[in-house]
Amino acid sequence: MQLFIKAAEVWQPDMASTELQLVDGYYGGLSDFEAVSKEMSFPCGVGLPGETWEKGRPLLWSDLTSDAFMRNQIARHSGIACGLSIPIYAGDFLLAVVVLFAGRGSEVTGAVEVWDNESGSDAELRLAQGYYGELERFEWISRRLSILRGRGLPGGAWAQGKPLIIENLGDSNTFLRARNAAEAGITTGLAVPFIDRDRVRVVTFLSARGTPVMRRFEVWEVDDTGERLVFGSGHCESGTDLNEKYAQTHYTKGKDFLGELWLTGRPLIRAGGEGTETGLWIPQIVAGRLSAVVGFIF
């Protein structure tokens, strides 16, 4: 199975907070891209991770051949089309920058989007950036759409203030682009909101048949006691019943890998090994406290 997302990275400020350094990475078979990336660091404002640090918001670069992307030469030969970067903050303090790279070519289908209310509206979102590959009709519709709070995939994530997964998008009554999704072969959507006071940004991942964004999405939430992370929702391309799989599973602060993430607030990539799968885990931090953790399983 080919995946839409080909590589993932976690960058963190160094001890002096003068540059970002690579602390975790998953590159699949992109060994040349991996070798170049491990030799790099990014001051604030430089490259995709550095510009994300400077601007303090998710960014999507759909042209990785430009000089602004410091790894443009190796990107040309790696089958990478775009980079999505997400800063993780605890209040005013940057903990890390997560970067995801999507593939290109007619055999890879899917989309990533960044929605925001930058117009100052407290009621609607508009598309700030998006990458759609060859889904030109779906892109045309998306760029002309405004989404009310509580409506659709991005609006629903905004309203509930936590990640939202919608399956069977083509048949969904809540996904505003359902007919267009069915035509494009898009099946599953994940939306992750990042809310800072009145500024709202929602990052969405749209999976298509044959080349899903990931093999599995998982959302873990802090329960009502505030002492445990429990499984909230998920989607598995193989059809595994995740509610049944995780019915007896929970994590406490400092225990196991999700408990360690809860302790530090920093995203991580858990390498696959015996009995485990490779996955990227991103915390959602609201008002300085962990609200949820989103898992992307390769």
Single-letter residue type at 184: A
* Domain topology for 110-211: Beta-Lactamase (3.30.450)
The runs of H, that is alpha helices, within 77-224 are: 136-142, 152-160, 178-184
Q: What is the pLDDT of residue 78?
A: 87
Report the alpha-carbon distance of residue 9 to residue 20 in Å, rounded: 12
State whether residue 158 is helix, strand or coil: helix
Q: What is the pLDDT of residue 234?
A: 98
Report the alpha-carbon distance of residue 7 to residue 35 in Å, rounded: 13
The pLDDT of residue 124 is above 80: yes
pTM comes to 0.95
- What is the CA angle 7-12-17, rounded to 5? 150
Query: What mean pLDDT is predicted for residues 150-175?
Result: 95
Q: What is the pLDDT of residues 26-84, one digit of tens each?
A: 999 899 999 999 999 999 999 999 999 999 999 999 989 888 999 998 988 888 999 99
- The answer to whether the Cα torsion of 130, 78, 11, 48 is positive or negative is negative
β strands within 104-211, DSSP E: 110-116, 124-131, 146-148, 164-166, 186-196, 199-208
β strands within 38-145, DSSP E: 41-43, 59-61, 80-90, 93-103, 110-116, 124-131
1-108 is classed CATH 3.30.450.40: yes
- The answer to whether the Cα torsion of 280, 94, 62, 206 is positive or negative is positive
Average of per-residue pLDDT values in the chain:
93
Report the alpha-carbon distance of residue 45 to residue 210 in Å, rounded: 37
User: Comparing 1-108 with 110-211, is the CATH topology the same?
Assistant: yes
- φ, ψ of residue 244 to 5 degrees: the values are -70, -40
CA distances to 181, 207, 217, 271 from 264, in Å: 38, 30, 22, 18
Q: What is the pLDDT of residues 216-241, one digit of tens each?
A: 999 999 999 999 999 999 999 999 99
| Domain spans of the chain, in order of start | 1-108, 110-211, 216-297
The pLDDT of residue 156 is above 90: yes
Q: Residues near 162 by Cβ (< 8 Å), separated by ≥ 6?
A: 193, 219, 221, 232, 284, 291, 292
* % of the chain at pLDDT higher than 70: 98
Report the alpha-carbon distance of residue 116 to residue 127 in Å, rounded: 7
Q: What is the pLDDT of residues 12-38, one digit of tens each?
A: 999 999 999 999 999 998 999 999 999
* Domain topology for 216-297: Beta-Lactamase (3.30.450)
